[in-house]
Amino acid sequence: MFIFKVWLISIFCSQVEPTATVLDIKSKCLRDEEILQTLPVGTTASFYFRDLGPQLTWGTVFLTECVGPLVIYLMFYFHLPFIYSPKYDFTSSKHWVVHLACICHSFHYIKRILETMFVHRISHGTMPLKNIFKNCGYYWCSAAWMAYYINHPLYTTPYYGQMQVNTGLYVSLFCQIGNFSIHVALRNLKPPGSKVKKIPYPTKNPFTWIFWLVSCPNYTYEVGSWIGFTVMTQCVPVAFFTLVAFIQMTVWARGKHCSYVKEFRDYPTLRSSILPFIL
């Protein structure tokens, strides 16, 4: 029989015992699906409960993150009043690349919205309410910064003209399709309602063959699509956003890769985190 010592840490506690001590909790959090009888503990175990505060579902957070940039970018694209000089209100740009950029940007976030609704099977149930302000602030402000310059009446087209625009467009579309293919492959790897982790492997879809070399190809394709968008628009704010996104996704990919290696003894040794043979 297990004997449990349970300390409840809550913001609702109104009294503290004189002999109470400060707990330094460094142990790993338990997953929802873990069963007490299977835990590697002896006859005595200590469990710590923490009040996580107000929470939001991950699906709600993802949708909020994506709807904002979509709407904000379109506000700049249609030159709504109070954004640029009044003489440019509701005027369309004379540059074809500006319209193409709007299509690509809108496609990216519409794709993410539809994936959140119909493709993703999110393992984590909720996240802290305060995180939505941080996440949305980042995505919404970045979208506004990019949109302001790309749709600006004084915007200049890429230096190498149509060739550069087409190259960036093809790279972006290729990576968007690849990203979607990886998300579908990951969805099919996990049955509905299941939280059992499996090693992802390439499928018959050629876009998933990168799984042979990378643990998180969804991030690889995501970065690739923004690199293509940067080349297509030749816009400094887009390049900065791409760089920050790459750094953040590298952190996520390395964490996921380490988790795979630790959890699966037979995990393929050839794989890198996000960039084949490099990172």
- For the chain, the domains span 3-50, 161-279
- 124: three-class secondary structure by DSSP: coil
| CA nearest to 214, candidates 276, 149, 158 | 276
Phi, psi at 56, each rounded to 5°? -130, 150
| CA nearest to 2, candidates 49, 46, 40, 45 | 45
Crossing angle for the helix pair 129-150 and 58-77, to the nearest 10 degrees: 20
Q: Under 8 Å CB-to-CB from 166, ≥6 apart: which residues? A: none
What's residue 3's pLDDT? Answer: 38
| CA nearest to 233, candidates 66, 108, 101, 126 | 101
Q: Is 176 exposed, middle or buried (0-12, 13-18, 19+ CB in 10 A)?
A: buried
Query: What are the pLDDT digits (tens) for 110-126?
Result: 999 999 888 877 666 67
Which of 46-50, 128-132, 177-181 has the highest average model confidence (pLDDT)?
177-181
Q: Is the pLDDT of residue 4 over 70?
A: no
Q: Which residue has the higher pLDDT, 63 or 144?
A: 144
Lowest mean pLDDT among 39-48, 73-82, 98-107: 39-48
| Pair 76, 147: CB distance under 8 Å | yes
| Size of the chain in residues | 279
What's residue 212's pLDDT? Answer: 96
Q: Where do the H-state alpha helices sit in the chain? A: 58-77, 96-118, 129-150, 161-189, 217-233, 236-263
What's residue 27's pLDDT? Answer: 61
Residue 64 — very low, low, confident or very high, per pLDDT cuts 50/70/90? Answer: confident
Residue 262 — very low, low, confident or very high, per pLDDT cuts 50/70/90? Answer: very high
Lowest mean pLDDT among 6-10, 96-100, 205-209, 243-247: 6-10
Query: What are the pLDDT digits (tens) for 211-253?
Result: 999 999 999 999 999 999 999 999 999 999 999 999 999 999 9
Phi, psi at 109, each rounded to 5°? -80, -30
Lowest mean pLDDT among 7-11, 133-137, 245-249: 7-11
Count of CB atoms situated within 10 Å of the CB of 218: 24
For the whole model, what pTM was predicted?
A: 0.81
Q: Is the pLDDT of residue 204 over 60?
A: yes
What's residue 219's pLDDT? Answer: 97
Q: Is the pLDDT of residue 275 over 90?
A: yes
